[in-house]
């Protein structure tokens, strides 16, 4: 058997410790599949004394992960620190400069610096692999970069954040508020103490920027991703969605249009007859539409030690085999600079929930605004008078341009009879 692939691991958190477990427990299996043994040589983390559930005694310890990436006698460096800059980026820069392959699970780093890192890796003649950065254990990078290479991909979308999917599932199934479920998710470790990266859609946007580059051969454009989270989704919106035949999901969606690249992360209503509507709890799912293959759907656990470490090891095995492919599917110089389509040009149907005073003329005033903006109302529900002063008015529109919808809602919110900011959720046909 060939000489062992020597590996250094920077970061020994959940994913790093999980990767050590997979590489040690499946050492023989990985050697057979990769054509050579994979040996962990060096490791680095903040706290050497921390109990991680795996033995590190056989490996060289480095207090400085950048020094390890630069100096350790290894072929491959795993960057499992996290963060869009700082030591994570420094580790990757040092490893590439030293002629070492890099495997990372860091979507934030790649969403911001992916093009530059890919260019540096190309120049150095090393691989930069990142299967674990998108959707945990789902092999979506390999699917887009290799499996669908004979197709022109016209759209890619999916549930890219397990925390948000868990929250929306719990809200619906157990009839709990967003705040209650978020607190439970934090107690279970699904959400961080500061959950904004997840619930405000940023994590999903990082992943979508990478998926779009892979799918369409464009430069990574995180700044071009319109991003909206789930904080304003109320239990009554989930109930109305069910009544209308929908499920609310936080979707990331990208497609190439005649105007440029659309990249969107927002909560939307998806028909219950779509498979992705039934992806629940902390699971992720990605759908890619190719011109010859039609829709292909990939579903699985999007986070956690096991699934993410599984994806990291898949990248390691590719390096062991000597298999190399351009970071984003084509050489960096061939990646297209494509204009980002602003959200105001989005066209679709909308769900609108208004809280209004129960008094004569309210509905007439509201419908007059829709008429003035040439937006057609598909259906409307007005609930009976409640114990409070305000009552809900819920409606669905036909397809219109978002700029017109935003003007409409601004005018409606200014009406004296409207007592809360209107809630707007896009209806996504996924055609």
Q: DSSP string covering 369-417, please? A: HHHHTT--EEEEEEPPP-SSSEEEEEEEE-SEEHHHHHHHHHHHHTSTT
CATH number, position 167: 3.30.360.10
Contact 401, 344 (CB under 8 A): yes
For residue 384, the model assigns a pLDDT of: 67
Q: For 305-333, write each residue's pLDDT tens digit.
A: 999 999 999 999 999 999 999 999 999 99
181, 129: one domain: no
Taking every pair of Cα atoms in the chain, the longest distance, rounded to a whole number of angstroms, is 84
- Whether 258 and 394 map to the same domain: the answer is no
Q: What is the pLDDT of residue 2?
A: 74
Helix (H, G, I), strand (E, B) or coil at 347: strand
Domain boundary among 98, 133, 168: 133
Sorted by sequence, the CB contacts under 8 Å of residue 258 that are 6+ apart come out as none
Is the Cβ–Cβ distance between 292 and 150 less than 8 Å? yes
Q: List % helix, strand, coil for the chain (3-state, nearest 5).
A: 40, 25, 35
Query: Does some domain include residue 340?
Result: no
> What is residue 1's predicted lDDT score, i.e. its pLDDT?
52
Residue 338 neighbours by CB distance under 10 Å:
17
pLDDT of the chain, 431 residues: tens digit per residue:
579 999 999 999 999 999 999 999 999 999 999 999 999 999 999 999 899 999 999 999 999 999 999 999 999 999 999 999 999 999 999 999 999 999 999 999 999 999 999 999 999 999 999 999 999 999 999 999 999 999 999 999 999 999 999 999 999 999 999 999 999 988 887 788 899 999 999 999 999 999 999 999 999 999 999 999 999 999 999 999 999 999 999 999 999 999 999 999 999 999 999 999 999 999 999 999 999 999 999 999 988 899 999 999 999 999 999 999 999 999 999 999 999 999 999 999 999 999 999 889 999 999 999 999 999 999 999 876 665 678 999 999 999 999 999 999 999 999 999 999 999 999 999 97
Give the C-alpha distances (Å, rounded to integers) separating 213 from 121, 128, 197.
17, 15, 21
Q: Which range marks the domain in which residue 292 is found?
A: 140-301
Q: How many Cα atoms sit within 13 Å of 240 on the Cβ side?
A: 26
In degrees, to the nearest 5, what angle opens at C-alpha 262 toward C-alphas 259 and 264? Answer: 155
Q: Is 46 a catalytic residue?
A: no
Separation of CA 151 from chain center: 23
> Is 99 in a helix, a strand, or coil?
coil
Q: How many domains does the chain have?
A: 3
Q: In the numeric block, which tokens belong to residue 215?
A: 């799918």
Examine the domain organization and report whether 177 and 292 are in the same domain: yes
What span, in angstroms and rounded, lies between the C-alpha atoms of 322 and 326? Answer: 13
Phi, psi of 298 (to 5 degrees): -125, 125
Please, which residues have CB within 8 angstroms of residue 272's CB and are 6 or more apart in sequence?
245, 246, 247, 278
**375 is a domain residue:** yes
Q: How far is CA 174 from each of CA 59, 189, 235, rounded to the nearest angstrom?
A: 47, 19, 10
- Do 153 and 222 reside in the same domain of the chain? yes
pLDDT at site 353: 97
Question: Does 321 reside within a domain?
Answer: no
Distance of alpha carbon 108 from alpha carbon 105, whole angstroms: 9
Regarding whether 153 and 119 lie in a shared domain, the answer is no
Return the bridge partners of 360, or none: none
Report yes or no: 68 and 62 within 8 Å, Cβ to Cβ: yes
DSSP-derived letter for residue 19 is H
- Cα separation of 91 and 102, whole Å? 9
Angle in degrees, 0-180, between the axes of helices 162-174 and 235-244, rounded to the nearest 10: 80
User: Residue 353 has what DSSP assignment?
Assistant: E
End of a domain among 284, 301, 318? 301
Catalytic residue among 207, 249, 272, 274: 207
């Amino acid at each position: 058997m060939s000489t062992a692939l020597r590996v250094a691991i920077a970061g020994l958190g959940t994913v790093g410790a999980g990767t050590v477990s997979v590489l040690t427990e499946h050492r023989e299996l990985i050697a057979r599949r990769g054509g050579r043994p994979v040996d962990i040589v060096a490791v680095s983390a903040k706290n050497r004394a921390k109990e991680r559930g795996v033995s590190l005694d056989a490996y060289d310890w480095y207090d400085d992960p950048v020094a390890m990436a630069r100096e350790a006698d290894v072929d491959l460096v795993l960057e499992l620190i996290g963060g869009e800059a700082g030591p994570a980026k420094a580790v990757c820069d040092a490893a590439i400069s030293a002629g070492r392959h890099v495997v990372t699970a860091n979507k934030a780093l790649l969403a911001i610096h992916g093009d530059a890192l890919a260019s540096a890796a190309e120049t150095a003649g090393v691989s930069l692999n990142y299967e674990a950065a998108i959707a945990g254990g789902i092999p979506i990078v390999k699917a887009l970069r290799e499996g669908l290479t004979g197709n022109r991909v016209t759209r890619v979308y999916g549930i890219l954040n397990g925390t948000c999917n868990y929250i929306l599932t719990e809200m619906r199934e157990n009839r709990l508020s967003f705040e209650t479920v978020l607190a439970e998710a934090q107690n279970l470790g699904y959400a961080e103490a500061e959950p904004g990266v997840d619930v405000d859609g940023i994590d999903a946007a990082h992943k979508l920027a990478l998926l779009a580059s892979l799918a369409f051969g464009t430069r990574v454009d995180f700044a071009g991703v319109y991003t909206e989270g789930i904080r304003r989704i109320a239990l009554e919106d989930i109930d109305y969605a069910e009544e209308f035949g929908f499920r609310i999901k936080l979707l990331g969606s990208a497609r190439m249009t005649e105007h440029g690249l659309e990249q969107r992360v927002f909560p939307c209503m998806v028909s219950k007859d779509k498979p992705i509507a039934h992806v629940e709890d902390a699971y992720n799912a990605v759908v890619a539409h190719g011109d010859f293959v039609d829709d292909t759907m990939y579903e699985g656990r999007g986070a956690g030690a096991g699934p993410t470490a599984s994806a990291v090891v898949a990248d390691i095995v590719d390096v062991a085999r000597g298999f190399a492919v351009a970071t984003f599917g084509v050489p960096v110089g061939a990646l297209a600079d494509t204009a980002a389509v602003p959200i105001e040009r989005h066209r679709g149907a909308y769900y609108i929930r208004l809280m209004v005073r129960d008094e004569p003329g309210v509905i007439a005033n509201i419908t007059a605004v829709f008429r003035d903006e040439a937006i057609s109302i598909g259906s409307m529900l007005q609930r009976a008078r409640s114990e409070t002063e305000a009552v809900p008015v819920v409606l669905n529109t036909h397809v219109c341009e978002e700029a017109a919808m935003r003007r409409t809602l601004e005018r409606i919110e200014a009406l004296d009879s409207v007592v809360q900011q209107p809630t707007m959720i896009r209806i996504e046909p996924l055609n």
